């Protein structure tokens, strides 16, 4: 595993999975690019703007984010991170996400809620365009520098891939 990449396994994920899926599917969504369902909108990503209108965000912050943040800070030897942006994506059969980076963030993070096959994990590339090799599973949060190009391969499976993606910044 690359030391620029962190993987955190959410405690008691099986207890959270169905709650998160239910809350995500209750959230108004739209199609964006080649992703069937997402609440990603550039003008309303900031956590503080739309926080209370998206119950899955409240659930995530209350039940998952704090333990994740502690792990992240230990792993990267920093004092504090802040949650900047958060959104979900549901990949139906045929959906994918082109390679991209995240502006105005230090780290991009992918929380795998439903991962039908390991081939559907996010592909992450170093600055030298070398694909980073890592293993992950449902319930894992993968974190990497937001300026690393990353994307999602086409979902060739009937089952949906469901993720929560979020950006974080390091704070001193």
User: Which is nearest to 142 in space by CA: 163, 114, 117, 172?
Assistant: 163
Predicted pLDDT of residue 49: 52
Neighbours of 73 (CB within 10 A): 15
Q: According to the 3-state scheme, what is the secondary structure of the chain?
A: CCCCCEEEECCCHHHHHHHHHHHHHCCCCEEECCEEEECCCHHHCEHHHHHHHCHHHHHHHHHHHHHHHHHHHHHHCCCEEEEEEEEEEEECCCCCEEEECCCCCCEEEEEEEECCCHHHCCEEECCCCCECCCCCCCCEEEEEECCCEEEECCCCCCCCEEEEEEEEEEEC
Predicted pLDDT of residue 26: 92
Q: 115-170, pLDDT tens digit by residue? A: 999 999 999 999 999 999 999 999 999 999 999 999 999 999 999 999 999 999 99
Predicted pLDDT of residue 165: 97
Average pLDDT of every residue of the chain: 91
C-alpha distance from residue 130 to each of 2, 125, 136, 137 (Å): 11, 5, 18, 22
Confidence class for position 102, pLDDT limits 50, 70, 90? very high
Predicted pLDDT of residue 67: 97
Model confidence, pTM: 0.93
61: tokens are 């912050």
Between β-strands 107-114 and 97-100, what pairing exists: parallel, antiparallel or unpaired? unpaired
67: Cβ–Cβ under 8 A, 6 or more apart, which residues?
Answer: 10, 11
Q: How far apart are CA 115 and CA 82, in angstroms?
A: 26
The predicted model gives 64-83 an average pLDDT of: 96
Q: 39-57, pLDDT tens digit by residue? A: 987 544 555 555 557 899 9
Predicted pLDDT of residue 29: 85
């Amino acid at each position: 595993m690359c030391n620029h990449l962190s993987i955190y396994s959410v405690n008691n994920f099986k207890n959270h999975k169905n709650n998160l899926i239910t809350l995500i599917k209750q959230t108004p969504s739209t199609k964006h690019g080649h992703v069937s369902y997402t609440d990603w909108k550039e003008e309303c990503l900031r956590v503080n703007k739309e926080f209370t209108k998206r119950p899955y965000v409240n659930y995530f912050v209350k039940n998952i984010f704090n333990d994740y943040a502690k792990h992240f800070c230990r792993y990267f030897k920093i004092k504090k991170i802040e949650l900047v942006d958060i959104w979900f994506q549901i990949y139906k059969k045929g959906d994918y996400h082109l390679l991209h980076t995240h502006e105005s963030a230090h780290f991009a993070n992918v929380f795998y809620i439903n991962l039908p096959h390991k081939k559907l994990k996010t592909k992450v590339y170093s600055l030298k365009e070398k694909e980073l090799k890592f293993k992950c599973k449902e319930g894992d949060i993968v974190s990497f520098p937001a300026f690393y190009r990353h994307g999602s391969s086409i979902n060739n499976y009937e089952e949906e891939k469901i993720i929560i993606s979020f950006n974080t910044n390091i704070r001193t």
